[in-house]
Amino acid sequence: MSANPVLVFDMDGVLAEVSDSYLAAISATVEKMTGQKPARQVIDRYKEAGGWNNDWALSHELVKQAGHADVSYEEVVAVFQELFIGHTGDGLIAREKWIPHNGLLERLASRLRLAIFTGRPRGEIEITLRRFAPRIEWSSIVADEDVGRPKPAPDGLLAIVEAHPGIEVTYAGDNVDDARSARGANVRFIGVAGPDQSCRADLLKSEGAIAVIPSVNEIEGVL
């Protein structure tokens, strides 16, 4: 079992559809704090450029760009979390959808070690995994608070590589920060471009992806 390769997943856009959760929380946070709702295309441009994997940081940047440079990062985080988590987990996080089809992770787990490296805080990882994948055993879960430097730095992947010495590691992610993190850790990268995302597919290929698929549900065909 110890020789089984490791398949590491990013969460947002790979395991969980977050258009109505994290991305909606960015938009709602900025609108609540500035009265101006950023277009989805604006958020997408920041994400595609890289360096904005942290949704709190992106929300703060958009608040400042809307003319509210006096608003602190901590204030933005507080509003974001109130909207995203709510009081009892009934916030925007409840709108998330699980992307893997029934049985996919179980089949993968029969021949691979499964792991997660994401920019989410651990508490938010656990909420989603309890809801959608309570029976999956993960060999490693690396959360935002577990790394000194967030993606695109390779720290999280390097921790997983160190925990599985001599074992092949592959990372599946959906943006340039994921690809650059994989390159920095010298692990294989599979891009998940999303449906009808030819531009993103080209971008992920240019960043070194060994394959690009429209959905994580296609991953068995490229492993």
For residue range 33-82, list pLDDT tens digits in order.
999 999 989 998 898 888 898 999 999 999 999 999 999 999 999 999 99
Q: Same domain, yes or no, for 108 and 186?
A: yes
Q: What is the pLDDT of residues 157-179, one digit of tens each?
A: 999 999 999 999 999 999 999 99
Q: Same domain, yes or no, for 11 and 26?
A: no
Residue that finishes a domain, picked among 34, 69, 94: 94
Number of domains the chain is built from: 2
Q: Same domain, yes or no, for 105 and 68?
A: no
For helices 55-65 and 22-34, the axis angle rounded to 10 degrees is 30
Q: What is the pLDDT of residues 8-17, one digit of tens each?
A: 999 999 999 9
Q: Same domain, yes or no, for 108 and 150?
A: yes
Q: Is residue 137 part of a domain?
A: yes
Q: What's the pLDDT score for residue 219?
A: 98
Q: Same domain, yes or no, for 192 and 148?
A: yes
Residue 126 has pLDDT above 50, yes or no: yes
Q: Same domain, yes or no, for 112 and 173?
A: yes
Q: Is residue 1 part of a domain?
A: no
**Separation of alpha carbons 129 and 136, rounded Å:** 9
* Residue-range definition of the domain harbouring residue 46: 22-94
Q: Helix/strand/coil (H, E, C) string of the chain? A: CCCCCEEEECCECCCEECCCCHHHHHHHHHHHHHCCCCCHHHHHHHHHHCCCCCHHHHHHHHHHHCCCCCCCHHHHHHHHHHHHHCCCCCCHHHHCEECCCCCHHHHHHCCCEEEEECCCCHHHHHHHHHHHCCCCCCCEEECHHHCCCCCCCCHHHHHHHHHCCCCCEEEEECCHHHHHHHHHHCCEEEEECCCCCHHHHHHHHHCCCCEEECCHHHHHHCC
Q: Same domain, yes or no, for 40 and 149?
A: no
Q: Same domain, yes or no, for 198 and 127?
A: yes
Range name among 163-167, 195-199, 207-211 with the lowest pLDDT average: 195-199
Q: Is residue 121 part of a domain?
A: yes
CATH of the domain at 176: 3.40.50.1000
Average pLDDT, the chain: 94
Sheet bearing 6-9, strands edge to edge: 140-142, 113-117, 6-9, 169-173, 188-192, 211-213
Q: Same domain, yes or no, for 159 and 109?
A: yes
Q: Same domain, yes or no, for 38 and 118?
A: no
Tokens read off for 212: 């690009």
Q: Same domain, yes or no, for 57 and 150?
A: no
Residue that finishes a domain, picked among 94, 118, 141: 94
Residue 1 has pLDDT above 60, yes or no: no
**Separation of alpha carbons 116 and 181, rounded Å:** 13
Q: Same domain, yes or no, for 118 and 196?
A: yes
**Separation of alpha carbons 104 and 111, rounded Å:** 12
